[in-house]
């Protein structure tokens, strides 16, 4: 088959995947609404395990599909955190930390600030993401990581935040890290 023809097929598959992805995200929105009603949490590791378990094979297609679905679920959670925050549903502890970072950035002469996030990821990822997942998500959304330190079970990630607008645009990302870590502290350095 001609390369052009195969690429047309790929485009058609991409169109279908885009439609399915959007459908899945709509379902995820409905789940978020239901969770908001019952004050339930976004991340459900047991459910995610069930999702993987439906595709248990050892073939490359199955293994790669599980990795793909992993990313899809990460984005699905990110989307749900957006819905939670959009409805003002945010943990007080996070809000306090976020506000003090905001104030500190406001009080600076320059807009260029570094925010240090000290967190403890769950080694078994029962609570959420591993540090590798977190770095991957930070990278996905264009957050610049300027330092990374491992201190026992804790990790310190320093990120560049150029002003309060930049902070606001990263709020959801930081909230996701907060919700999916065992401990979380962020401050301007």
Ligand X SMILES: C=C(O[C@@H]1C=C(C(=O)O)C=C[C@H]1O)C(=O)O
Residue numbers at the binding site for ligand X (CB under 6 A): 28, 31, 42-44, 47-48, 51, 73, 76-77, 80
Q: Which is nearer to ligand X, 51 or 85 (CB)?
A: 51
The C-alpha angle 168, 174, 180, rounded to 5 degrees, equals 155
CA dihedral 42, 45, 47, 50 (to 10 degrees): 160
Least spacing, CB of residue 18 vs ligand X, in Å? 17
Q: Which is nearer to ligand X, 28 or 97 (CB)?
A: 28
Q: Which is nearer to ligand X, 82 or 163 (CB)?
A: 82
Q: Which is nearer to ligand X, 127 or 158 (CB)?
A: 127
Least spacing, CB of residue 163 vs ligand X, in Å? 32
DSSP for 125-181, please give it.
Answer: -SSS--HHHHHHHHHHTTPPEEEEEEETTEEEEEEEEESHHHHHHTHHHHHHHHHTS
* CA–CA gap between residue 97 and residue 34 (Å, rounded): 27
Least spacing, CB of residue 124 vs ligand X, in Å? 15
Q: How many Cβ atoms from other residues are within 10 Å of residue 99's Cβ? A: 10
Q: Which is nearer to ligand X, 8 or 47 (CB)?
A: 47
Evaluated on CA atoms 5, 19, 169, 126, the torsion sign reads negative
Please name the residue that has the structure tokens 């047309």. Answer: 8
Q: Which residue is nearest to ligand X (CB)?
A: 76
Q: Are 180 and 173 in contact (CB under 8 A)?
A: no
Least spacing, CB of residue 129 vs ligand X, in Å? 11
Least spacing, CB of residue 80 vs ligand X, in Å? 6
């Amino acid at each position: 088959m001609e390369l052009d023809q195969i690429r047309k097929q790929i485009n058609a598959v991409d169109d279908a995947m885009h439609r399915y992805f959007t459908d899945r995200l709509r379902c995820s929105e409905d789940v978020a609404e239901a969770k908001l009603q019952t004050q339930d949490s976004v991340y459900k590791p047991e459910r995610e395990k069930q999702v993987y378990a439906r595709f248990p094979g050892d073939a490359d297609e199955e293994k790669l599909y599980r990795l793909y679905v992993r990313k899809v679920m990460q984005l699905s959670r990110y989307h749900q955190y957006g819905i939670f925050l959009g409805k003002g549903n945010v943990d007080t502890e996070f809000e306090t930390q976020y506000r003090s970072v905001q104030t500190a950035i406001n009080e600076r002469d320059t807009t260029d600030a570094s925010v240090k996030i000290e967190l403890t990821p769950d080694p078994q990822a029962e609570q959420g993401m591993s540090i590798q997942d977190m770095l991957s998500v930070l990278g996905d959304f264009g957050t610049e990581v300027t330092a990374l330190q491992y201190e026992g079970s804790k990790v310190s990630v320093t990120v560049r935040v150029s002003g309060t607008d930049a902070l606001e645009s990263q709020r959801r990302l930081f909230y996701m890290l907060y919700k999916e870590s065992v401990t979380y502290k962020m401050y301007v350095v």
